[in-house]
């Protein structure tokens, strides 16, 4: 008898082919309240995390940037301002609703970027296309993370870099009970009150715990073929930025 392959969806095991749809349902549900919830959940600190990621990218005028899982366009907006009219920024997301919200938000601010609905595991771009690839708070939702890393490496130019901004493993152990209380009790309650969706934010907390920790993700990047890989812990390891290069 053939055993059906499963993967994690938060703390639940689901058939591999079902995860993408379940994740899509989560983000379709929260798309219109996504930015408000991000500010509330992090007390606005997510903006500082993203600003640091942009600084680490060392993006320059005229470069080509792919912002994967770009959602509502926070990073794409900043990249567009830096790369200028001679550069190119692609705002990409697997979820059409998130992409629509991001595109409309940027257009409202007079910012035009290319938009693409893509699966990070099989990016539809030519080899050696982008100078910089970022993925912020999106890798943990990808079913096959190793495939996504290989796909990113393929479309990255030689000497290009990838930056992965993602929740990671808290390094300040005395704070763990408080962090767990916030994650599993307060966060779903906020989701219910603000976005009318407690379950999506319960999934968020669970998906963070199931995501590879700092060293594991570093090893995955090296296995995929990235070089000079390193990471920076932010906010005590609640978030980490992983960097890697293609040579």
Residues tagged in the binding site annotation = 72, 93, 119-120
Q: What residues are designated binding site for S-adenosyl-L-methionine?
A: 72, 93, 119-120
Q: How many Å apart are CA 64 and CA 157, to the nearest integer?
A: 10
* Burial degree of 197 (CB within 10 A; 0-12, 13-18, 19+): middle
φ and ψ of 4, to 5 deg: -75, 130
Nearest to residue 203, comparing CAs of 71, 19, 7, 26? 26
Q: How many Å apart are CA 80 and CA 89, to the nearest integer?
A: 6
What is the distance of C-alpha 171 from the center of its chain?
21
Spatial contact of 140 and 210, defined as CB atoms under 8 Å apart? yes
The pairing of strands 88-93 and 130-136 is unpaired
Spatial contact of 139 and 111, defined as CB atoms under 8 Å apart? no
Spatial contact of 65 and 88, defined as CB atoms under 8 Å apart? yes
């Amino acid at each position: 008898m053939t055993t059906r392959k499963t993967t994690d969806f938060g703390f639940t095991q689901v058939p591999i082919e079902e995860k993408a749809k379940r994740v899509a349902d989560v983000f379709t549900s929260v798309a219109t309240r996504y930015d408000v919830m991000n500010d509330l959940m992090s007390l606005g600190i997510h903006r500082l995390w993203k600003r640091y990621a942009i600084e680490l990218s060392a993006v320059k005028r005229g470069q080509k940037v792919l912002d994967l899982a770009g959602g509502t366009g926070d990073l794409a907006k900043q990249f567009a301002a830096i790369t200028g009219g001679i550069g190119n920024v692609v705002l990409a997301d697997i979820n059409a609703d998130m992409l629509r919200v991001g595109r409309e938000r940027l257009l409202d601010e007079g910012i035009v970027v290319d938009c693409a609905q893509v699966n990070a595991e099989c990016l539809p771009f030519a080899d050696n296309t982008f100078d910089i690839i970022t993925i912020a708070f999106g890798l943990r939702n990808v079913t096959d993370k190793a495939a996504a890393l290989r796909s990113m490496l393929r479309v990255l130019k030689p000497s290009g870099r990838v930056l992965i901004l993602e929740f990671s493993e808290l390094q300040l152990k005395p704070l763990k009970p408080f962090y767990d209380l916030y994650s599993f009790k307060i966060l779903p309650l906020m989701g219910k009150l603000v976005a009318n969706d407690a379950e999506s934010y319960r999934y968020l907390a669970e998906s963070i715990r199931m995501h590879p920790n700092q060293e594991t993700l570093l090893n995955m990047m090296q296995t995929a073929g990235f070089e000079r890989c390193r990471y920076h812990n932010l906010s005590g390891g609640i978030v980490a930025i992983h960097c890697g290069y293609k040579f």
